[in-house]
Amino acid sequence: MPSNQSPAEQRNQMTGFALVLLGAFGFSAKAILIKLAYAADVQIDAITLMALRMLFSLPFFLVVAFWNNAASVAAPMTGRQWLLAIALGLTGYYIASYLDFLGLQTISAGLERVILFLYPTFVVLLSALFHKRKISLRVGLALVLSYTGMLLVFMEQLSLASANILLGSALVLASAVTFAIFTMGSGVMTHSIGSTRFTAYTMTVASMATLAHFGLRHGTEIKHLSTGVYVLALVMAVFSTVLPSFFMNAGIRRIGASSASIISTTGPIATLALAFFILDEAITGTQLAGTFLVLAGVYVVSKK
């Protein structure tokens, strides 16, 4: 930490580090809670669990949205900004989440987190494709490291997991690509309308879309599920959705997006540890090596 910082600046930076770390841990615990919910009640499907999560989350985001509108002196959003916020909410927090929930029905939490954490590399590839940005040799090598690590973890899981591992992995991979698209669009929006308002609005849009999807699929009444599912969905809503979203945004404001991305690389490690202690998922040398390669590649890309 630079010596010329004042005590207040140092405290602000340390607070930022802590907030991002808490946010990363909260997001990482989501896969564990999803797997526990699937195990707690065989009747539950992906959209029902996701609807419960959003149903418990929505009041928090509505309160934040109304409070932000009342307290903010920012200019009203334009029609284009509203359309973009709706599109990003549907992309990043509805479609990407639904694909992730579906994938976790058939693959382990450890594999899910490794695949999902590749999304910064997809941002680089998509930027190169659509914005004609050249990929440097250093970043190219980082991409090779990440994808080699993912293949190591995947090939080992292929011999241990269910027959649907290919489908589950493909769904989570699609989720990562979709979230990368969301990430590319969210940068401009957070600067133009503010990170708190952006998070509240996009999550509200995603919640509405999820509940509409559930209504079309199952009707307006949630069938009786075990008490454990409701508890897990509530915990997921508060500690793996609402709080991490605002922790991460508050942390980024203090230490910047680049530092926050690097700190977030602790997420897959936290998922592996939680999966080992809570879900009894094995941790092997190959899995650790693959995860390390993914994190190393993502670190270089995020730093860049």
In the prediction, which pLDDT does 191 show?
A: 78
pLDDT above 60: residue 291 = yes
CB 121 within 8 A of CB 297: yes
pLDDT in tens, 11-48: 888 888 898 899 889 999 999 999 999 999 888 999 99
- Count of CB atoms within 10 A of residue 86's CB? 17
- Count of CB atoms within 10 A of residue 95's CB? 19
Q: Residue holding tokens 């708190």?
A: 196
**291 vs 222 pLDDT, higher one:** 291
End-to-end CA distance of the chain: 20
pLDDT above 60: residue 2 = no
In the prediction, which pLDDT does 208 show?
A: 95
CB 271 within 8 A of CB 28: yes
Compute the C-alpha angle 128/187/176, nearest 5°: 60
**Cα–Cα distances in angstroms (integers) from residue 125 to residues 89, 121, 157, 182, 183, in the given order:** 22, 6, 26, 14, 13
In the prediction, which pLDDT does 1 show?
A: 47
**Cα–Cα distances in angstroms (integers) from residue 150 to residues 6, 113, 139, 233, in the given order:** 42, 10, 17, 29
pLDDT in tens, 66-109: 887 777 666 788 899 999 999 999 999 999 999 999 999 999 99
- Count of CB atoms within 10 A of residue 63's CB? 11
DSSP notation for 127-175: HHHHS-PPPPHHHHHHHHHHHHHHHHHHHHHHTTS-TTHHHHHHHHHHH
Contacts by residues 227-231 (CB-CB < 8 Å, ≥ 24 positions apart)? 228/36, 228/37, 228/40, 228/41, 229/37, 229/40, 229/41, 229/44, 229/49, 229/52, 230/52
Question: pTM for the whole thing?
Answer: 0.89
CB 237 within 8 A of CB 56: yes
What is the mean predicted confidence (pLDDT) over 251-267? 77
pLDDT in tens, 265-278: 888 889 999 999 99
Choice among 65-74, 127-136, 243-252, 287-296 with the minimum mean pLDDT:
65-74
In the prediction, which pLDDT does 248 show?
A: 82
pLDDT in tens, 170-225: 999 999 999 999 988 887 787 788 888 888 999 999 999 999 999 999 887 777 88
In the prediction, which pLDDT does 257 show?
A: 66
CA atoms within 13 A on the CB side of 144: 7
pLDDT above 80: residue 259 = no
pLDDT in tens, 101-159: 999 999 999 999 999 989 888 988 888 888 777 888 888 898 999 999 999 888 888 76
What is the mean predicted confidence (pLDDT) over 271-300? 89
In the prediction, which pLDDT does 249 show?
A: 78
In the prediction, which pLDDT does 304 show?
A: 59
